[in-house]
Structure 1
Amino acid sequence: MIVFGIAGWSGSGKTTLIEKLIPGFNARGLSVSVIKHAHHGFDLDKPGKDSYRHREAGASQVLMLSNDRWVLMHELRGAPEPTLEEQLRVLSPCDVVLIEGFKAAPVPKVEVHRPAHGKPPLWQENPHVVAVAADVPLDSPLPLLPLNEPDKIVQFILDYSSRHES
């Protein structure tokens, strides 16, 4: 399983890039999963719905399913946030896992960097950034990938992963 991060400052276009990378992997016959780390709390449920009421009543897990999809909600209830490794074990088998967030995790990452946002590049401080995807030319010792050409980024990730298999 290829595990690859997409890193960058908030608003840099990480989610948009991931959205464009997934069809590129799928076109190569690869299944893709995504792990997104949210820095702030979130809730996919709505007050008043049965599943929300079950969680509010104290259920640790609520699994909802239909003929289209299923979702498992797990309430931490004060327990520590699971590690990336623990979350990877929860995923169904797949070929590629793209990770948004988990900046410090020891997995290779492509940084989405837009100088127009006025933020410093992450690669200078993060040893796990192995390439930079940008919309303008940059001065970087790392491979520079064209942000608006997702197929080239997909190919970079596949090539990099095949060279660094453990």
Structure 2
Amino acid sequence: MEIIQIVGFKNSGKTTLASKLIAMLSESGHTVASLKHHGHGGAPIGLENTDSEKHKQAGAVISGVEGDGILQLSAASWDVEQMLAIYQLMGVEVLVIEGFKKEPFPKVVLIQRKEEVVLLEQIENVKAVLTPLALKDVSCPVFNITEIEALCMWIMRNFLKSAS
């Protein structure tokens, strides 16, 4: 399973880029999935006061609920490797991860403002940058914010082995 991370600060365009990349990969015939980091604090949507949450509180290692094609799993804590194992079981070819900045996977970084450039020094394995800024001394390709489709094509051609 190939993995690409999309990282950036809040409201930097991560979801827009992830959606475009997922659509292009899907249209080209690849099995694509996404994983988003919920970094806003608090419980994920719809878990409090549910039977599955009561099961978790009672000691279940994983508590799940399915309805209308939605499977929601809850655990005391998940590490990324456990989540990736679930995606691999589902036969995913390409996983687009939104967030999880500290994970070691190849990344596209979104930079909207000059003060966000520091992110490039804080994370590893940056493969490309998407920004409206004119950045210099960056050791990877830099795409203008208007070039989302070109960035997605670049990822498909040069980065994802299973997408070539």
* TM-score, normalising length: structure 2: 0.78
Which shifted more, 89-98 or 36-45? 36-45
Corresponding residue pairs, total? 157
Identity of aligned residues (%): 28
Q: Could you report, residue by residue, the CA deviation over 1:67-110 in whole angstroms, capped at 9, with x for unpaired residues?
A: 4222222233xxxx41x233211212212111122223222111
Does the alignment pair 1:111 with 2:109?
yes
TM-align CA RMSD: 2.5
Contact 2:24 2:152 in 1 (8 A): yes
TM-score (norm 1): 0.77
How do 1:1-166 and structure 2 match up within 5 A? 1-39=1-39, 40-76=41-77, 81-82=78-79, 84-91=80-87, 92-115=90-113, 118-139=115-136, 140-162=138-160
How many Å apart are 1:144 and its aligned residue?
1.2
Which structure 1 residue ranges, 5 or more long, are not aligned? none
* Counterpart Cα distance in 2 of 1:47 and 1:102: 24
How much does 1:41 deviate? 4.2
Please tell me whether the aligned partners of residues 122 and 129 of structure 1 are also in contact (alpha carbons under 8 angstroms).
Answer: no
Q: Normalized per residue, which structure has more helix?
A: 2
